[in-house]
Amino acid sequence: MWNKVLKKFEKHPAQEKILKILFERGFQVNDDGKVVSGDIEIAHTQLAKEAGVDRRVVDSTTNTILSDELLRNIFQNVRSIPSLRDVAPLLGLGVVIITPDDAASAGIITDVSRVISDNNISIRQAVSDDPYFTDEPKLTIITDSNIPGNLLDAILTLKSVKGVSIY
């Protein structure tokens, strides 16, 4: 699907930068062409600055999104989620970051969650980077307690896992 979306912007690399920021952050485009997160409006000038482009590129991108049914449906319905990764230690939760062997392969989350749950540790959150948007995607698992070293070793033996770290 992302190839189909990105193809619409292949002749407009500056707009593609904006598109990726919108999606990575879970920002929507409302019917007025405003970039929003819920009811909070995000200034086009701020998005342009983040992407290193002119504000008019943001305007053009939102116009393109609104004029295309697929893009409109995506960017009026995408949502952001809170990541617990950086606050988990403050909450007494464990954080395991998995570097997959091949992020596009099936079963990575299944393999890792099975090892964790077989050791009676509950998973509170699992967030996977999209390999289309990230050069080195990671799978971040938040658990209800810290992961013991022997469990990290068990995760590292999985065929789908290239590396494991705790945060």
Q: What is the mean pLDDT of residues 80-94?
A: 93
Nearest CA among 76, 60, 84, 52 for reference residue 8? 60
Q: pTM value?
A: 0.79
Order the strands of the 123-128 sheet from edge to edge: 123-128, 139-143, 94-100, 161-166
What average pLDDT is seen over the chain? 93
Asked which of 51, 75, 99 is the last residue of a domain, the reply is 75
Asked which of 17, 50, 75 is the last residue of a domain, the reply is 75
Answer whether residue 6 shows pLDDT above 90. Answer: no
Residues 93 and 162 in one domain: yes
Residues 56 and 121 in one domain: no
User: Per-residue confidence at 22, pLDDT binned at 50, 70, 90?
Assistant: very high
Range of the domain at 17: 8-75
- Within a domain: residue 80? no
- Cα angle for residues 135, 136, 139 (degrees, 5° grid): 135
User: Per-residue confidence at 24, pLDDT binned at 50, 70, 90?
Assistant: confident
Answer whether residue 1 shows pLDDT above 80. Answer: no
Answer whether residue 153 shows pLDDT above 90. Answer: yes
With tokens 């022997």, the residue in question is 150
- Within a domain: residue 146? yes
CATH code assigned at 108: 3.30.70.260
With tokens 């995408």, the residue in question is 78
Residues 93 and 68 in one domain: no
Inter-CA distances, 123 with 81, 94, 115, 156, Å? 16, 9, 11, 18
Q: What is the mean pLDDT of residues 13-24?
A: 93
Order the strands of the 28-29 sheet from edge to edge: 28-29, 35-37, 40-42
- Cα angle for residues 21, 51, 65 (degrees, 5° grid): 50
Q: What's the confidence (pLDDT) of residue 129?
A: 87
Asked which of 26, 54, 75 is the last residue of a domain, the reply is 75
Residues 115 and 161 in one domain: yes
Q: pLDDT tens digits, residue range 40-59?
A: 999 999 999 999 999 999 99
Phi-psi region of 113 (alpha: psi -120 to 50; beta: other; left: phi over 0): alpha
Q: What's the confidence (pLDDT) of residue 103?
A: 86
Answer whether residue 3 shows pLDDT above 80. Answer: no
Look at strands 40-42 and 94-100 and give their pairing: unpaired
